[in-house]
Structure formats: C-alpha cells, structure tokens
Amino acid sequence: MDVNLMGKLAKGIATMITVHAGRKAAAHPAPKIAPACFDMAPQAVSPFFTVGYGQAEIVPDGDVTRQKYWIAGYRINNRCEGILDLMAAHAIWLDDRSGKGGIVLVSVDCVGLLRKDVEQIKAGLSGFMQRTGCRCVHIMSTHTHAGIDTMGMWGPLPKTGRNPSFMKRLAESVWSSVEQAYQTRREGELYWGKKAVPGVQKDSRLPEVFCDELTRVRFVPRDGGHEIYLLNFAAHPESMGSQNSLVSADFPYHLAREIKARTGADTIYFSGAIGGLIAMKPLAEDNLTSTRIAGEKLADAACSIEREIRLEPRISQIRQEFYVDADNYVLLAAAKVGIIQADACATGQGALNVSLKTELTYLEIGSLKILLIPGEIYPELVYGGYLSAKESAEGAPASRNPAPLREIAGDAELVVFGLANDEIGYIVTPNDFCLNEKMPYLDKATDRLGRRHYEETNSLGPNTATRIAQVFAHMMETVRSAKSRVAAPEGAACGAGEADGSAMGRIKS
C-alpha cells in the first residue's frame, strides 16, 4: 500500500476514535478512581516470615507443531515448531505473621499479560483469597521473546495470536502455583542482598543507563530445608534471537536450573527496568549456548552474594489504579477488532480522548522497597541520567521529563519489577519521544540525529512516563503521611483528592 495512503488512513482512524470518544466522555465519562490507602505494618509482631514457593508448567494442548501457536516478541506469524523448555508460572507466598494475611507474587514465563487477562486470573483466585486470608496477588511477566503469544500481537495479523485454550492452561497454572506456594509455606528469615554483574548487558538506545545489579531476597527456613531465591535483574529475555521458533523461557530457565543444581534452592525471577532497550549481550556464537551462558552467569552472581541485610518481618503496601492516556490508535484499533484484549475508557484526556486503566503497587518488605510497574520502563526514568536538549530526538530539554522514580521514593535502593499486573508497552522518556510524521505509531521514526525510534510504536504515547511519576508521587505522599501518623487506626492512611487528578510531585551511565 502507498505510504501516503496509509498515512491518510491512519489519520482517519485516529480522528474517528477521537470524535467518538469525545462524545462518549461528554455523555458518559469514565468513573473517578478513589485514592488508595497505605496498608502499613508499623512494627513486626513476629521474629519470622512465613514463606512458600510453587511452580506449575504451562503445557500446551496437543502437538504444538499442529496447533495454532505463535512465538511472541520479535516477528508476526512465527509458528511454533517445538518446545525447548516449557513456560511456567512461579509463585511465592510472603506473610509477616501480623494477622493481615500473606501476599503472593507471581512470575509467568511469557511476553506479557494485559490487565484484562490479569483481572480474570485474579478472579479465579477469589476462593483462595477468602480461604487463606490472602491480602493480594500480583502477577508479573518475565517478557520472554520465545514464549507462546499471550497478548495477540504476534499471530497471523489481522487475526489474533492468542489461543484461548492456551490462555486457560496459563490461568490454571497460575492458580496451581499460588496454591502450592501457600501449601508449602514455612517459617524462616528473609535476607536481601545484591551483586553487580558487569559486562553482560547491552543498551541499544541512548542514554546508556541501566542497572547492572542482580537483587536477591533469600528465604532461609527454620527447618533447615531448601531455600528460596527471589531474583530481580534488568534484561529482556530474548537471547534465543529473532529467528527462533521454539518455546523457551529463555535465560531465566537456565538461571533457575543452575541455582537448583548448585544449592537446591527454588527460584522466582522478576524483570526490572528493561525498556530502552536493555538485553543480554551475545555470549557465544550460537543463541542456544549464549542463552545458557547468560543464565549461568546470573546464577554465579546469585550464588555469590555475601553482604546481606536481614529483613524485619513487616509487609506494607499501597496499590493505586489510575488512567493513562492511550494515544496509540493502532493499539486501540487492535483492541477494537479483538487482536488484543483491552478495554478503552472514554476520559476526554489525551490526544484521542481515550485512556486505559492500569495500576502501580508500592511494597515495603522490611527495609526493602519495591515498585511494581505495568510495563517496560526506560531505566533513566527510574535512576536519572536523561539526554540533554543537544542529545535528544527533537531538541527537547531534560526538564520535560519527570523526576526519576528513585528520587520520588526518596530511596536510592528502590527496586523495580516491570510488566506488573499489566503490559502497557514501552514507557518512553518524554524528551526523547519521536513519532513518524506520516504514519505515527504505525512505522518507526528516524530523528534529526539519524537514530531510529521503534519503541514508540509499542507505547501508549508521550505522556505515560509523566503520568506514572505523578501517580507515584501521590502514593508516596500517602505513605509518608501514614508513617507520620503511626498511631492511626489500622495503621492505614488514604490519599487526598482523586487518583486520576494531576498531583505532582549501582547504575551504569
């Protein structure tokens, strides 16, 4: 199709969405979102945590080479040709024994889970929540680029790549892993440590900013049994490469297997700030060997952490839902025709008058602070190190960007878990956001300095990063208010105003 014609068609779709959503927002605006409360544990009431681990493989129906399964992450219409290692759901139960109930963190070996799928999976855990007194379940994706399509974007377009039978299997595996984590819980202590893993990552987009530290939370049970490692690192699990057509969890599979062989410990892995784009360097000539070595090198680091901090048995959290502008009409159109599963909200905000509802969660486990982010955030938005006006795509100054999230948190050790409870795509730094003029969001742009801008096509738009910073700043105001009023009933405090308002507020570089 002619480029100019495609550009006109794209603008027509955008205009149609804008007009329709504007009318709907005026007549039936999306409901307001209440500010969240900080569920705080002011002090430990037990010397121990209760922790459990569960894992369940996600086994596709039948022969994968004869079913309609597509490998997600790199290219569309990439039919699955076999299984190298199975995708799995991993879960960890964490309870501070305060009487508030435990929390569950889930990690799924997949490219991503959209909020609508996450909410359906959580709904299937309602009985578990009531029976166990569980406070919350948070579901993250590792973002492997060698897994079966769970979002719908990598199938034979314009048809979806999602297989309903496989999505049912995935949900069942999550439920099974969560139940296992609860049933295998034991008393013990948690220790937090980290170790730099230099020379294994690459950053394909300026600025060259990323975290090269692997974070480990180690559970040591009182019964002397096997330990549990909760790990976090920043790299796309895409070492299998773009030509791969085999199912694999990528390097996190080898990481967990190596740790199990060396120590007997179970491992649950979470991806960090991987936008930008942070991946593992090629570590061997062939991708299979490179992927294995990547996992082994991270296992080396995980098994050699010496300096640790004992975490006091206190778990506090605040989970805030909010609206974010959805300016990417291509993704909205894909949702409209059923390629992906997402519900647009007519808010009258953003370029198209449309938003998506998503969420942030801030956790404190003893002195460890974790922020659960619903996408692939650029590292500089967490750690700082923005491009200057001279270096940025359109000459925009660094002042256009929000304060880095670690600065907002007031903690230089804040740990980020990405693709948490949603996958809203790349969260791009505002002063380096650049779209193709003729076909925005449909084709990548080339900026004034000759650099490509692919990631913007898989983002919601230029306002996402600022919106996340605003919401997080509001959440931290609530946290600090609660801590200043420790004697408040139930140890909780809620934010003022509406959550959908505009309240503002070792790294490689």
At 96 the pLDDT is: 98
The tokens describing 142, both together, are: 């590792």
Predicted pLDDT of residue 489: 55
pLDDT digits (tens, 9 = 90+) for 225-283: 999 999 999 999 999 999 999 999 999 999 999 999 999 999 999 999 999 999 999 99
CB 182 within 8 A of CB 128: yes
pLDDT at position 4 over 90: no
Count: domains in the chain: 1
Residues 320-337: pLDDT tens digits? 999 999 999 999 999 989
Residue 267 in tokens: 């491992």
- 435 found inside a domain: no
pLDDT of residue 498: 55
Is residue 451 in some structural domain?
Answer: no
Residue 391 domain-assigned (yes or no): no
Q: Mean pLDDT across the stretch 405-417?
A: 98
| Alpha-carbon span 403 to 405, nearest angstrom | 6
Domain that holds residue 346: 1-382+406-421+469-509
Which three-class secondary structure state does DSSP give residue 333?
helix
d(CA 412, CA 293): 30
Q: How far is residue 313 from each of residues 190, 342, 366, 414, measured CA to CA in Å?
A: 8, 37, 6, 18
The answer, yes or no, to whether residue 507 has pLDDT greater than 70, is: no
Does 197 map to a domain?
yes
The residues with which 362 forms a beta bridge, in sequence order, are 318, 371
Bridge-based pairing of strands 228-233 and 266-271 is: parallel
One-character DSSP codes across 261-303: HHH--EEEEEE-S-TTTEEEPP-SSSHHHHHHHHHHHHHHHHT
User: Is residue 417 one of the residues assigned to a domain?
Assistant: yes
29 within 8 A of 348, measured Cβ to Cβ: yes
Residue corresponding to tokens 């409360």: 37
Both tokens of 314, joined, read 């206190």
d(CA 7, CA 442): 9
Q: Which token pair is 77?
A: 């219409």
pLDDT-derived band of residue 2, with 50, 70 and 90 as boundaries?
low
Q: What is the pLDDT of residue 63?
A: 85
Looking at residue 462, its pLDDT comes to 98
Q: Is residue 10 within a helix (H) or strand (E), and if so which, with residue range?
A: helix 3-27
- Which tens digits make up the pLDDT trace of 80-95? 999 999 999 999 999 9
pLDDT of residue 220: 98
User: Can you give the pTM of this predicted structure?
Assistant: 0.95
Q: CA–CA distance from 260 to each of 75, 111, 195, 256, 363 (Å)?
A: 33, 24, 19, 6, 27
Nearest to residue 323, comparing CAs of 478, 473, 460, 432?
460
Cα–Cα distance for residue pair 231/313, rounded to 1 Å? 19
Query: How far is 229 from 303, CA to CA, in rounded Å?
Result: 10
CA distances from 50 to 95, 111, 314 (A): 5, 30, 11
- Whole-number percent of the chain with pLDDT over 70: 94
Q: Given a cut of 80, is residue 146 above it in pLDDT?
A: yes
- Which residues are registered as beta bridge partners of 54? 91
Q: Is residue 448 part of a domain?
A: no
Is the pLDDT confidence value at 501 over 70?
Answer: no
Q: Are strands 82-83 and 246-247 parallel, antiparallel or unpaired?
A: parallel
Cβ atoms 506, 405 nearer than 8 A = no
Q: pLDDT of 155-183, one tens digit each?
A: 999 999 999 999 999 999 999 999 999 99
Report yes or no: 353 and 22 within 8 Å, Cβ to Cβ: yes
CB 381 within 8 A of CB 237: no
| Distances from the Cα of 55 to the Cα of 128, 183, 215, 251, 259, angstroms | 16, 12, 21, 17, 15
pLDDT in tens, 435-482: 999 899 999 999 999 999 999 999 999 999 999 999 999 999 999 999
Amino acid at 4: N
CB environment 180-199: b (16+ within 10 A), e (fewer):
bbbeebbbbbbbbbbbebee
Cα 194 from Cα 305, distance rounded (Å): 6
pLDDT score for 5: 66
Q: Within 10 A of 364 (CB to CB), how many other CB atoms are there?
A: 20
pLDDT in tens, 343-385: 999 999 999 999 999 999 999 999 999 999 999 999 999 999 9
pLDDT in tens, 107-139: 999 999 999 999 999 999 999 999 999 999 999
Q: What is the mean pLDDT of residues 481-508?
A: 60
**Count of helix runs (H) and strand runs (E) in the chain:** 10, 26
pLDDT tens track for 8-67: 766 788 788 888 888 888 888 899 999 999 999 989 999 999 999 999 999 998 888 888
Mean predicted confidence (pLDDT) in 98-106:
97
Token pair recorded at residue 280: 């593992």
Domain-located, residue 399: no
In a domain, 116, yes or no: yes
